[in-house]
Structure 1
Amino acid sequence: MKHEGLPNGRTEPAVANRSDLVNPDAALPAERQRLGGLSGKLLLLTIVFVMLAEVLIYVPSVANFRNTWLKDRLTTAGVAAAVLSETNTIAPRLQEELLRTTGATAISLDMGSRRTLIAMREMPLEVEFVVDLADMTPWSSILQSFRTLIYRGDGLMRAVDAGQMGLVKHVDVVFPIRLLQQDMRAFSWRILGLSLVISVITAALVYISLRALFVRPLQRLTRSMDHFAEAPEDASRVITLTGRQDELGDAEVRMAAMQEALSRHLHQKQRLADLGLAVSKINHDLRNLLASAQLFLERLEHVPDPTVTRLAPKILATLDRAVTYTQAVMSYGKAQEEAPQRRLLHLHRVGEDVADVLGLPDAQGIDFENRVPEELEVDADPEQVFRILLNLCRNSLQALESERDGSLVRRITLEAERKGNCVHVSVTDTGPGIPAQVRKALFKAFHSGSKQGGIGLGLAIASELLHAHGGRIYLDESVQGTCFRLEIPDRGRSMLPRS
C-alpha cells in the first residue's frame, strides 16, 4: 500500500520494500551491554538452574556412593575372612594384610552358632555410627551420608551386612569414619567440578541459542524504536519485516503498522499546521480587502439606481458575514465555536437569504424550492443557522453543477416542520448521492466527499454548530439523491445522539 501527502510529492513504499536504515548489528550503548542486561541475566540464571539440577542429582548420588563404598569393603572383608577362617588359624601377617586392604580396624564373622573375630589392629575406640545395610532406606542413607560429611573427630564406624559365602550370615567391620569421609569428599569435589563444566557448557549453549532467537531480535526492535523516534514523520524509518513466523514476527508486524499509522498521523498534523498558517496569512489580508469593499459599497448605496438600491443591502450583509467569518478563522485553534446566541427567527427568510447568496434564483438548469412555511419559527442563532444551510446548499449546488446531462432533473429542496419542541429541517437534492466509502467519515473535518475541489469542512462545521444547539444532523439514506436531516431543539432541550 502507499501513503499520500509526503513532502515533495513522494509516496511511501510498502513496508516489505522499504530500505532498512536500522543496522541490526550496530553496537548497543554500554549501559545496555552490562552484566545486568537481559543477556547477562540469562547467562547467570542458566548457570544457577543447572547447578540447582546438579545439587538435586548430587544428594542421591553421594548416598549411593557411600552405600557402594561400604558394601565393597564389607564384601572384600567377608570373602577374605571366610577363606582365611577355614584354616582355623590366621597368621598375624595375613591379618595385617587383610586389615590394610580393607582399611578396617576390626573384622568379625557371624556363623550363626558362633561369632569369630578374624582380625583386629588394636582395641577399638568408641563406635560413633552403626550402619546395617540390610535395614538401610533411601532417606536414612541420605541423612547418614551428610552426617558423615560434616563429622569432626577420629571416631569409628561399624558396618554390618549379610555374608556372601557359605555359612557366613553377617560380616561385621569396624573402620575409621575419616576413611569414608575422605573418599566421600573427594567424590563430592569431582561432582562439583563436573557440574561446573556441565553448567558452563549448557549455559553457553542456551545463552547462544536464546540470544540468537530472542535477545538479538528484541535488541533490533529496540534500535528500530530509537531510530524511528528520532524522526517519526520519516516513513522510511519504519521497521523492515523479517518474515519471522513466531511471536516476535507478530510484534514486528504490529510495530510496523503502528509506526506507519503514527507517521501518517504526523504527516496529516503537519499538513493541517501548514494549512492553518496559510489560512491565517490569507485571512489577514482578506479581512483588509473585505473592509475596503464595505467602504466602496457604502458609497454605492447613495447612487439613485433601483438595482443598486435593491442589491446593496444584501451585498453589505454578505460582506459583514464574511468579515465575521474571517475573525472566527483567526481564532481557530484557540477556542471552540462561540456559544449560540439564540433568537426566534423565520426559517423561510433564512432560506431565501441562502439562495440569494448562492445565486440559486439565477442558476441555469437548477431549481430551488423553499418549502419552509413562512410562519415557521425556530429558536436558534441566526448566523449559525445561516452557515449550516449555506454549507449544505452549496454542497448540493456543486454536486448538481457537475452533472452535464441536460435531461436530468436538478433540484434543491428546503423543507422544515415543527414537532413539539424540535424543528426538523431537510436539505435534499437530486444529485448522484454520496459514495458509500465516504459515509463513515462524513462529518469529520478534512474528509471531502465526492465533489472535486472540496476540503471537507462544510459538513463538519454544520455538525459542530448543530451539536452546540443540542441538535444533530444525519444522512437519510432512504431518499434518492442526497438528503441531510437536521434536528434543532428549542433552548433547554437536547437530542439524544443517533445510533
Structure 2
Amino acid sequence: MEDRLERLNDAAGLPDSRAASDGARRAGTTPRLGARAPIPRHLGLSGKLLAFTLAFVLLAEVLIIVPAVASFRVNWLSDRLAAARTAALVLDAAPDGMIPPQLTRELLGSVGAITVALKRDDTRRLLASSEMPPEVDLHVDLRDVDPLQAVSEAFDTLAASDGRIIRVVGNPPRGDGFVEIVLDETPLRKAMMRFTRNILLVSLVIAALTGALVYLGLAWMFVRPMRRLTQRMIAFRENPAVPVPVLGPPERMDEIGLAEREFVVMQQQIGETLQQKSHLAALGLAVSKINHDLRNLLASVQLISDRLADIQDPAVQRFAPKLEAALDRAIAYCQHTLAYGRAQEPPPERRMVPLGPLVAEVRDTLGLGGTGEEAPSIGWVASIERGMKVDADPDQLFRVLLNLSRNAMEALSARAPNDPIRDQIRITGRREGTIAIIEVADTGPGVPERARAHLFEAFQGSARRGGTGLGLAIAAELMQAHGGGVQLVPGTIGATFQLRVPDRPVDLDAHRAARSHG
C-alpha cells in the first residue's frame, strides 16, 4: 500500500525521497494483457494437475488389476475343481478296478491334476492318481474364500517358484464332504502372468486415453481461465494506475466465473479509488503551495484589522471584533490545511463551552443575523436549553456547526428567491445525561438517496453539483475525535444532522485533589 501511495505521489508531482529511483524503475514498463506470466520455479498448476492425474490413474490401475488377478486365480482353480467333480462322478460310479489306466490318465489330464480324491462322511477315497502322490507344499480351500485372503494368495502364487505342489479343496459333487485335487502350480502362475500382462496393457491404454481426456478437459475448464486471470493480476500489480483492458464479464456461472467477475469489479473499483487518490495528491500539492502565501496575506490583513479597531466609528467598532475573530480562525485553519489529507486533526482542547454564544457566532459568520432592512432571506431559528454547555473544543465545534449550517444554507439557496418563513435553518440543543445532542436542520429538499451511501466520505458525499463533500467528512472526523459522532436523521423535512458529544469521564483523583486543595 505504501508503494502505491508513493506511485500516486509521483503521478501527482508530490516530492518524495524515492521518486527518482521509482520513476526510473517504472519507465517504459507498461503491462500488456497478453504477456506471458513468468514461469514459476516450483511445480505449476498444470504440472500438479498432470501429477495428480497420473497418480489417480495408477491408483485406479492397482484397484482394477489386483482384484482381477485374484479373481482369475480363484476362477482358474474353480474350473479345475469343476472338472474334478465330473471326473469324480465317473470314477465313483465305476466298479473298483474296472476303469482302464488310459481313461484314468485322460480324466486326470482333463482336470490338470496329479491326483483326485473324494471324502464322504468319514471315508476318504483316492479316485485316480497318475503317479505316486508328491509332497504338498501349500493347501488352498475354495469352500470359503475371503477377498483379502484371495489377494494375498494371488501375490503369493505370482512370487512362487516353478514346481510348487498345491492341494485344492472344494465342495463335493453331491452330499457332504469335499473333493480335492493335487496339482502343479506352475501352469496357474504362467496363466496368471499372461492374464496380468494382457489386462495391464489394456488398462494402461484405457487409462492413458482417459487420463489425457481428463487432463485436457480440466486444463481447458480450469487451468486456462486461471492462467488468464493470473496474467491479468500480474499486469494489474505491475502498475495499478494503468488501466488493464476489460474483456467483459465472463458467462461462466461456476466459481471460476464468479472469481473473474469479482476481479473485474475489484479492478474497476481500485481504478476509481486510485484516480481519486491521484486527485487528492494533486490537490494536496496545490494546497501546500497556496498555504504558504495565504498565511502571509492573512497576517497582513490582520494588521489592517488591528488598525481598524482604533477607529471610533460605531459600525467599525461593532464589526472589528468579529473580523479579528474570523481572521484568527482563518490563520489557524491555514496552519492545519494539510492535516486532513496528510496526518490528523490536532487533538481537541476540550472545555465546557456555552453553546448559545457559539451558535450565534456561526449565524453572524454566515450573515444570517441581520434585522430590518438587513434581514436575510433565509431564516435562522435557534432553540437551545438555557445555559447549556458542551464539553468540546470551541474552535472545532464551531467548524462542525459552520460546515453543517453552510451546507444547509447552500441547499436552501438553490431554490431562490427564498422566503425566511419557508426556508429556515434550525439549530436545537439539549442534554441527555452526560451527552450533549445538537441538531442542525433545514427545510430544504433533503439529501438525495444516491449521496447517502458515501455521505461522510471525502469527495464522495456531496449532494450538489460542484461540491467537494469535505465539510461532512471533516465534521465526522472532528466528532470522532471527541468520542461522539454525527449522523443523518431519517424521516425529517429537509435534512437533519444530529451531533452527539459525550462529556469526558470524570477524573476522580483529580476531583478529590481539587476539593482538598480548596
What is the deviation of 1:403? 1.6
Q: Distance in 2 between matches of 1:486 and 1:410?
A: 22
Question: Which of these residues, 322, 327, 331, is aligned with residue 319 of structure 1?
Answer: 327
Gaps of 5+ in 1: 1-6, 8-19, 494-499
Deviates more, 1:337-346 or 1:209-218: 337-346
Q: Which amino acid aligns with 2:160?
A: Y
Q: Distance in 1 between matches of 2:314 and 2:495?
A: 38
Q: Which amino acid aligns with 2:64?
A: E
Contact 1:297 1:312 in 2 (8 A): yes
Map 1:95-134 onto structure 2 (within 5 A). 105=114, 120=130, 122-129=131-138
Q: Distance in 2 between matches of 1:189 and 1:227?
A: 52
Question: Which of these residues, 30, 33, 48, is aligned with residue 38 of structure 1?
Answer: 48
Q: Distance in 2 between matches of 1:373 and 1:248?
A: 61
What secondary structure is seen at the aligned counterpart in 1 of 2:244? helix
Partner of 1:206: 214
Partner of 2:273: 265
Contact 1:418 1:424 in 2 (8 A): yes
Partner of 1:219: 227
Q: Distance in 1 between matches of 2:135 and 2:166?
A: 9
Map 1:100-249 onto structure 2 (within 5 A). 105=114, 120=130, 122-129=131-138, 135=143, 137=145, 139=147, 144-152=153-161, 154-158=163-167, 174-238=182-246, 240-249=248-257
What is the deviation of 1:153? 5.9
Q: Which amino acid aligns with 2:270?
A: L
What secondary structure is seen at the aligned counterpart in 2 of 1:428? strand
Contact 1:372 1:416 in 2 (8 A): yes
CA deviation vs aligned residue, 1:456-481 (integer Å, no higher than 9, x gap): 12223223333333444344445433
Partner of 1:458: 471
Question: Which of these residues, 402, 405, 423, is aligned with residue 393 of structure 1?
Answer: 405
Deviates more, 1:54-63 or 1:73-82: 73-82
Structure 1 pair 186–35 and aligned structure 2 pair: CA distance change class (3 A): farther
CA deviation vs aligned residue, 1:52-103 (integer Å, no higher than 9, x gap): 32135324423334325524764897799899999957577x8888877776
Q: Distance in 2 between matches of 1:54 and 1:331?
A: 73
Q: Distance in 2 between matches of 1:118 and 1:375?
A: 127
What is the deviation of 1:344? 4.1
Q: Which amino acid aligns with 2:497?
A: F
Q: Distance in 1 between matches of 2:95 and 2:314?
A: 155
Partner of 2:5: none
What is the deviation of 1:266? 2.5
Q: Distance in 2 between matches of 1:465 and 1:348?
A: 20
What is the deviation of 1:243? 0.3
Contact 2:169 2:179 in 1 (8 A): yes
Q: Distance in 1 between matches of 2:172 and 2:432?
A: 114
Contact 2:391 2:504 in 1 (8 A): yes
What is the deviation of 1:32? 6.3
CA deviation vs aligned residue, 1:254-283 (integer Å, no higher than 9, x gap): 332333333333333333222222222222
Q: Distance in 1 between matches of 2:40 and 2:455?
A: 52
What is the deviation of 1:323? 0.8
Contact 2:166 2:185 in 1 (8 A): yes
Residue 290 (1) aligns with residue 302 (2):
no
Question: Which of these residues, 51, 63, 68, is aligned with residue 53 of structure 1?
Answer: 63
Partner of 1:445: 458
CA deviation vs aligned residue, 1:349-370 (integer Å, no higher than 9, x gap): 3233223322222464223345
Partner of 1:276: 284
Q: Distance in 1 between matches of 2:215 and 2:87?
A: 51
Q: Distance in 2 between matches of 1:483 and 1:83?
A: 114
What is the deviation of 1:319? 1.2
Q: Distance in 2 between matches of 1:423 and 1:96?
A: 117
Contact 1:425 1:486 in 2 (8 A): yes
Name the TM-score, length of structure 2 as normaliser.
0.74
What secondary structure is seen at the aligned counterpart in 2 of 1:157? strand
Residue identity over aligned pairs, in percent, reads 38
Q: Which amino acid aligns with 1:392?
A: L
Q: Distance in 1 between matches of 2:399 and 2:279?
A: 25
Partner of 2:377: 365
What secondary structure is seen at the aligned counterpart in 2 of 1:291? helix
Q: Which amino acid aligns with 1:67?
A: L
What is the deviation of 1:382? 2.2
Partner of 1:70: 80
CA deviation vs aligned residue, 1:125-155 (integer Å, no higher than 9, x gap): 323345576x464656656544433333634
Q: Distance in 2 between matches of 1:143 and 1:486?
A: 83
CA deviation vs aligned residue, 1:308-363 (integer Å, no higher than 9, x gap): 34333322221111010011113444543223223444433323322332222246
Q: Which amino acid aligns with 2:350?
A: R
Structure 1 pair 64–108 and aligned structure 2 pair: CA distance change class (3 A): closer
Gaps of 5+ in 2: 1-10, 12-30, 507-518
Contact 1:227 1:237 in 2 (8 A): no
What is the deviation of 1:35? 8.9
Q: Which amino acid aligns with 1:484?
A: F
CA deviation vs aligned residue, 1:372-425 (integer Å, no higher than 9, x gap): 578554443221222122212212221222122456723333443456555443
Partner of 1:15: none
Partner of 1:14: none
Q: Distance in 2 between matches of 1:229 and 1:464?
A: 32
What secondary structure is seen at the aligned counterpart in 2 of 1:434? coil
Q: Distance in 1 between matches of 2:273 and 2:485?
A: 28
Partner of 2:20: none
Q: Which amino acid aligns with 1:40?
A: L
Structure 1 pair 295–184 and aligned structure 2 pair: CA distance change class (3 A): same
Q: Distance in 1 between matches of 2:67 and 2:139?
A: 26
Question: Could you say what the CA RMSD is over the residues aligned between the two structures, in angstroms?
Answer: 4.3
Contact 1:21 1:237 in 2 (8 A): no
Contact 2:241 2:274 in 1 (8 A): yes
Name the TM-score, length of structure 1 as normaliser.
0.76
